[in-house]
């Protein structure tokens, strides 16, 4: 019994240290991020890597998610004679929840793991120590550009994903259920509000922050050589995905109260 209590205490202590370390890294990134010089070149390079290079996988997933959602929605609504509301259900589901969350999870898998692997490899090969020796700050040079780029790129990716998801729903509605594109978009514009769009896009700023900080923190604390790098990438994806889903719940509650 004492052994179990000890293990629980150690687990809680480890989790608290993890949260504290990630929070400390975030505060350092904010501190160095607002101080000049501003490394616009590195930020733009990271935006290209995180945003543009992630568009293919995110867009394909968004398109087929919209198609599947329209197919399932139409099948269910047909039982109640409400097939004409496919566009509304698809659009609201994508814009408020599915678009931001799926995009966040895909970026966490691709970008979060990449950040952890990149910084983790630099850590185990002592390149981060070399940056310090050269008089540069590794947080400002490595963490800040990735944090800013992820926070900027993720909302843009989500907007594109929402649009493609709605287009995917349109394709199924027109080809399978003979709903005109005019009626499809008219019902969406009538029922969708600015708050619906803003709530979905607003979540992605928090998702981007989570992905970047977890990836950078895992990379900066990597130990154990190449095995440790692999462990850090796996942990980054798992922790980021869990935090995205948990954060999404609380943000949804907050946005519903506004």
Whether pLDDT at 182 is above 70: yes
**pLDDT single digits (tens) 208-255:** 999 999 999 999 988 888 888 889 999 999 999 999 999 999 999 998
Read off the pLDDT of residues 105-131 as tens digits, 9 standing for 90 and up: 999 998 999 999 999 999 988 888 888
Rounded CA separation 68/76 (Å): 12
Structure tokens at 232: 């850090």
Mean pLDDT of the chain: 89
Calculate the alpha carbon distances from 59 to 54, 65, 144, 165, 205 in Å. Answer: 9, 10, 27, 8, 19
* End-to-end alpha carbon distance in the chain: 47
Indicate if the pLDDT at residue 161 is higher than 90: yes
- Tell me: the pLDDT tens digits for 79-110? 777 777 888 888 999 999 999 999 999 999 98
Q: Give the domain ranges of the chain.
A: 2-257
pLDDT over threshold 70, residue 42: yes
Whole-model pTM: value is 0.91
Q: How far apart are CA 71 and CA 169, in angstroms?
A: 8
Rounded to an integer, the average pLDDT of 64-88 is 83
Across 12-39, average pLDDT? 88
**Does residue 1 surpass a pLDDT of 70?**
no
Q: What is the pLDDT of residue 214?
A: 95
């Amino acid at each position: 019994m004492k052994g179990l209590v000890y293990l629980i205490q150690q687990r809680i202590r480890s989790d608290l240290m993890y949260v504290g370390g990630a929070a400390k890294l975030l505060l350092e990134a904010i501190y160095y991020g607002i101080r000049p010089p501003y490394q616009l070149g590195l930020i733009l390079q990271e935006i290209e890597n995180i945003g543009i290079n992630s568009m293919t996988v995110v867009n394909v997933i968004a398109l087929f998610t919209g198609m599947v959602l329209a197919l399932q929605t139409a099948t269910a609504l047909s039982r109640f004679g409400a097939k004409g509301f496919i566009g509304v259900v698809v659009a609201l589901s994508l814009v408020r929840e599915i678009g931001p969350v799926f995009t966040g999870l895909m970026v966490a898998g691709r970008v979060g793991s990449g950040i952890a692997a990149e910084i983790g490899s630099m850590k185990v090969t002592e390149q981060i120590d070399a940056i310090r020796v050269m008089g540069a700050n590794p947080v400002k040079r490595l963490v800040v550009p990735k944090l800013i780029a992820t926070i900027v790129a993720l909302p843009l990716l989500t907007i594109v994903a929402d649009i493609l998801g709605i287009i995917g729903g349109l394709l199924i509605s027109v080809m399978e259920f003979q709903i005109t594109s005019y009626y499809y978009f008219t019902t969406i514009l009538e029922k969708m509000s600015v708050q619906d769009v803003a709530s979905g896009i607003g979540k992605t700023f928090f998702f981007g922050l989570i992905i970047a900080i977890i990836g950078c923190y895992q990379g900066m604390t990597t130990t154990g050589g190449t095995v440790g790098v692999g462990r850090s990438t796996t942990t980054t994806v798992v922790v980021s995905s869990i935090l995205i889903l948990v954060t999404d719940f609380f943000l949804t509650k907050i946005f519903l109260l506004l």
